[in-house]
């Protein structure tokens, strides 16, 4: 009851103000072996009157301060946002437009792809896909969905499995649904705050290319402003 009252007060205080100014939060990506900072994510999230995501801008900044890349997202559908992303070192770019019943993909392999009939996610929409199933996951039940691999212009079957749940946090593993491939690819480990539904920690393969051309493996720690909660969202 106290949390619901707090959320209502937050809506009353911040509605309108957030339309003009984004909420900024940060992700600090560390090498899991050496604990050295690899890069920082700077997120600027714009919300509507109901505090739902409208759009987001992300800067990826190397440990030396150089800009690695930028991403822009539009949340017409929270679980499947349209987005464009471009990295400069090494150069890589992709763009996905969410259209009625299909996706227009411009990447290493470009094509129009029909959207799946069941639960699916595009890019950062995986976060909101998880939030849409949060209550189910809190019962320790796994959830299956399809995730867009934009570079290959195809969907891959994945599932989210709760690993540990306590009073404050829930830790999930994101795995491939294919048994053979799942043995070759380590699961992504995600830790969420149960009350604010903020993603606190991400461990695994990222979407940020390293100088070698392969994507970084990282542990990302997220820090949010006190007034950013995702628990009020409906899907």
Alpha-carbon distance of 138 to 166, in angstroms, equals 10
Alpha-carbon distance of 188 to 210, in angstroms, equals 18
Which residue, among 12, 79, 80, has the nearest Cα to 51 in the 3D structure?
12
Model pLDDT, residue 232: 84
Q: 218, 32 in Cβ contact below 8 A?
A: yes
Model pLDDT, residue 20: 63
Question: For residue range 168-219, what is the model confidence (pLDDT) as tens digits?
Answer: 999 999 999 876 555 567 899 999 999 999 999 999 999 999 999 899 999 9
> What confidence tier does 2 reach under pLDDT thresholds 50, 70, 90?
very low
Least confident interval from 6-10, 118-122, 154-158, 229-233: 6-10
Question: Residue ranges of the domains in the chain?
Answer: 2-223
Alpha-carbon distance of 186 to 205, in angstroms, equals 8
Q: In the beta sheet, which residues pair with residue 162?
A: 172
Q: In the beta sheet, which residues pair with residue 221?
A: 28, 201
Alpha-carbon distance of 119 to 65, in angstroms, equals 38
> 114: how many CB neighbours lie within 10 A of its CB?
9
Question: For residue range 136-152, what is the model confidence (pLDDT) as tens digits?
Answer: 999 999 999 999 999 99
Tokens representing residue 157 in the block = 């079957």
Question: For residue range 149-180, what is the model confidence (pLDDT) as tens digits?
Answer: 999 999 999 999 999 999 999 999 999 987 65
DSSP for residue 17: H
* Predicted TM-score of the model (pTM): 0.88
Q: In the beta sheet, which residues pair with residue 67?
A: 61
> What confidence tier does 226 reach under pLDDT thresholds 50, 70, 90?
confident
Least confident interval from 12-21, 74-83, 110-119, 173-182: 12-21
Which residue, among 113, 136, 127, has the nearest Cα to 224 in the 3D structure?
127
């Amino acid at each position: 009851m106290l949390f619901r009252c707090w959320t209502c007060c937050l809506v009353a205080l911040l509605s309108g103000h957030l339309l003009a100014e984004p909420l900024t939060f940060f992700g600090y990506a560390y090498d899991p072996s050496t604990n050295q900072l690899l890069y920082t994510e700077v997120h600027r999230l714009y919300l509507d009157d109901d505090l739902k995501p409208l759009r987001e801008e992300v800067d990826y900044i190397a440990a030396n301060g150089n800009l690695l890349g930028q991403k822009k997202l539009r949340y017409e559908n929270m679980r499947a946002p349209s987005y464009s992303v471009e990295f400069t070192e090494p150069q890589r770019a992709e763009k996905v437009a969410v259209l009625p019943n299909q996706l227009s993909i411009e990447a290493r392999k470009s094509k129009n792809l029909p959207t799946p009939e069941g639960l699916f996610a595009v890019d950062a929409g995986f976060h909101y896909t998880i939030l849409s199933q949060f209550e189910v996951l809190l019962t320790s039940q796994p959830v299956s969905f399809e995730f867009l691999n934009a570079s290959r212009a195809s969907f891959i079957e994945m599932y989210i499995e709760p690993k540990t749940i306590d009073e404050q946090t829930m830790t999930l593993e994101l795995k491939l649904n294919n048994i053979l491939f799942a043995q070759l690819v380590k699961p992504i480990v995600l830790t969420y705050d149960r009350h604010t539904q903020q993603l606190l920690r991400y461990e695994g393969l990222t979407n940020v290319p390293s100088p070698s051309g392969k994507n970084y493996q990282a542990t990302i720690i997220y820090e949010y402003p006190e007034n950013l909660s995702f628990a009020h969202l409906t899907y």
